[in-house]
Chains A and B, each alone.
Chain A
Amino acid sequence: MLYNAPSPLEVKVLTRRFGLPDSTSIGTYLANGGYAALEKARGMTPEAIIDEVKASNLRGRGGAGFPTGMKWSFCPRHSPKPKYIVVNGDESEPGTCKDRLLIENDPHQLIEGVLIAALAVGARAGYIYIRGEYRYLIEIMDRAIAEAYEHGYLGNGFDLYTHTGAGAYECGEESALLESLEGKRGVPRIRPPFPAVVGAFQCPTVLNNVETFCAVPAIIRDGASAFADLGTPRNGGTRLFCLSGHVNRPGVYELPMGFNLLRMIEEVGGGVRGGKKLKAVIPGGSSCPVLKAEECDIPMDFDSLAKAKSMLGSGGVVVMDEDTCIVRAALRIMRFYAHESCGWCIPCREGTTWLRKLLQRFHDGQGRKGDIALIGELAGNMLGRTFCPLGDAAAMPTLAFVEKFRDEFEAHLDGKPCPREAVYA
């Protein structure tokens, strides 16, 4: 199903079959170019497939933006152990709701992407890890997998299964996801070795986000350069941007990589709701440092956002209008990280909890003068000192909120809580 009207500015590559009647069925998929890329890939060498993905400038859509073809090439060619494909469908980054649509509307595209990856690295089985809350997607995916078996796409040397999570943001981190897949607590592993060498069941594993795998059939079908040319240098293709917050037309829109953020808010999202002024935007999910309104004239690709000291992340664009209390936003985000920290390493477990308490104190009007510096010190002590990126994901946005909106934190020091009654326990 589609939950928002499409925009005329969209460039539909991954979403091209969205909205077709019976779009989840293999019949619709086959009638609209489905599995043609797999046929083409069968005529290519594994090296040629990987080279094509490298040349497409496809970068990981889960958030880190690592070049996908390079990730695949780390998987050893000759291995005495079986190799696996694992799909990360644990979508839980606040602000992100795109993988859900890709599975809900076109599950066969994901299967085809996985099958091409399996050819490229020589894998014999795959697992689609889907967050537990998305139960209906597991049903859709299971039906599509059954159809792919009936048509012989699966079962001839490659098996594919769904695996449900059971509620844990941390399992979106690749090594924690693998622990979870093995029936353990979802705590991260020490890396290296990376999953490409020691992954699922201690075997070489290619692990990518749902959207990343879904881009692969288009790359093989239309060629690497057609995909690369849609985006900006080193940032190939399109991206499903999840526009949320204070815009007139929130929704998920597929736009070329490098699409200007202000234009996205104005022309795709219909501008800030209620004619209000733009205050700030979180450009790629809650882990990404906030941009002030004047920083939003920026191309939405991995490199441009990194240059602006933020991240493109998972594509969750959260728009905040002039009335938004930044302290409240920072607190809500830190409550999330404190709740989701797995507790495995101390800087994250303690850091997120202390930051939550400090931000709560600010929000309640009980902040003390030294607290602004203390937030910086606490967050600074987490950066680069945690087992997995969750610690950084909590610290980085907090530092940006405090640095860029220091005046709002100072305004909370006058003993008065936010105009809005504090509701947090």
Chain B
Amino acid sequence: MTFSPELEARFARLLESYPQGRQRSAMVPMLLYAQDEVGHVSRELIEEVARRVGVEPLRVEEVAGYYSMLRRKPLGKYHVQVCTNISCMLAGGEEVWEHACRKLGIGHKEVTADGQISLEEVECMGACSWAPAIQVNYDIHHGVTPEKLDRLLDSLRKLQ
């Protein structure tokens, strides 16, 4: 596989970060950073990372299946993650989640027909004191209301 020069540079740094013979440590970071670029953890990516860290593809497969952020299927260009855990729940997080489902006409880990927006109900993202919180790709948004969510989704539509 070919990656951007920035990602190749990051891979090189990662492989140097761990003690000699421990390059397997770079596996999960490589998968996550590569996923950001190619969209999901494909079979091809698993084989590529396995080759680079020096393990069998099966070893990468079993590890990739453990981590919730590593996804085996493509999701939307904008992945909207809504927290409904205890602090967000007390502040209206479930209402935000239900509103997002209704508005987009999709459910948990589903993608809109145009492939632009996907939705996921997630566990605590560390924004409890400024709840309810959502994360769009890696951007955290605090104090989200259904109205704020509407505006945010509309602006994502315009970005396309």
Contact = CB atoms under 8 A, between A and B. Distances in A.
B is a partner of A: yes
Interface of A: 3-4, 82, 91-97, 99-100, 125, 127, 131-136, 161, 163-169, 180-186, 201, 242-246, 250-252, 282, 286, 316, 318-320, 324, 328-329, 332-333, 336, 339-340, 342, 423, 425
A14 B68 CA distance: 32
Contacts of A91: 126
Given A3-B130, A250-B130, A136 B138 contact: yes
Contact of B129 (A127, A185, A242, A324): A242
A243 B129 contact: yes
B28 A286 contact: no
Nearest to B49: A183
A92 B87 CA distance: 13
Q: Report which residue of B19, B28, B91, B127 has the largest number of chain A beta carbons within 10 angstroms of its beta carbon.
A: B28
B87 A245 contact: yes
Nearest to A132: B69
17 contacts: A3-B129, A94-B85, A94-B123, A95-B86, A96-B124, A97-B126, A97-B128, A99-B126, A133-B138, A183-B27, A185-B66, A201-B19, A244-B87, A245-B90, A250-B128, A319-B90, A332-B89
Contact of A244 (B24, B66, B90, B125): B90
A32 B32 CA distance: 36
A423 B19 contact: no
Interface residues of B, number: 44
Interface in B82-100: 84-87, 89-91, 94, 97-98
Contacts, number: 148
A252 B26 CA distance: 33
A4 B126 contact: no
A418 to B, nearest CB: 12
Interface string B57-89: 000001100111110000000000000111101
Contacts of A92: 123-124, 126
Contact of B69 (A4, A167, A242): A167
B85 A336 contact: yes
Contacts of B98: 423
Given A163-B25, A185-B63, A286-B86, A94 B31 contact: no
Contacts of B127: 97
Contacts of B108: 425
B116 to A, nearest CB: 21
A94 B128 contact: yes
A165 B17 CA distance: 15
